Amino acid sequence: MAIPDYARLNFGTLLRAASDGNLALMECLDAATRQPRYVVCAVGRTDGEYAFTPFGHLADGNPYDAYLPPDHDDPTGLLASPAT
């Protein structure tokens, strides 16, 4: 499965911000649920003003339970969770 250009661009921006020491972890509220989220942001500075660009939030609990990895046998697919 190919990673789309917007995701590659955002990841590159995130890496540059990290290498420059321009990352912040902010406590925000989820817009839909109003639950607290801890959001990784790139920090930009212009003329003494700060801009925080959110990139994503940290996973609650065990992140291995939140995501399904790519399927090694099918480059266009993801592994399905076991049937319960």
14 belongs to a structural domain = yes
Q: In sequence order, what are the beta bridge partners of 56?
A: 40
Beta carbons of 39 and 56 less than 8 angstroms apart: yes
81 belongs to a structural domain = no
Question: What is the model's pLDDT at position 79?
Answer: 64
72 belongs to a structural domain = no
User: pLDDT 10s per residue in the chain (84 long)?
Assistant: 678 999 999 999 999 999 999 999 999 999 999 999 999 999 999 999 999 999 999 988 888 888 877 777 776 666 666 544
Question: What is the model's pLDDT at position 81?
Answer: 61
Question: What is the model's pLDDT at position 84?
Answer: 46
68 belongs to a structural domain = no
CA distance 26 to 57: 9
Q: Please give the residue range of the domain that contains residue 38.
A: 5-59
Q: Dihedral of the CA atoms 62, 73, 6, 38 (nearest 10)?
A: 0
10 belongs to a structural domain = yes
Question: What is the model's pLDDT at position 25?
Answer: 97
24 belongs to a structural domain = yes
78 belongs to a structural domain = no
Structural domains of the chain, count: 1
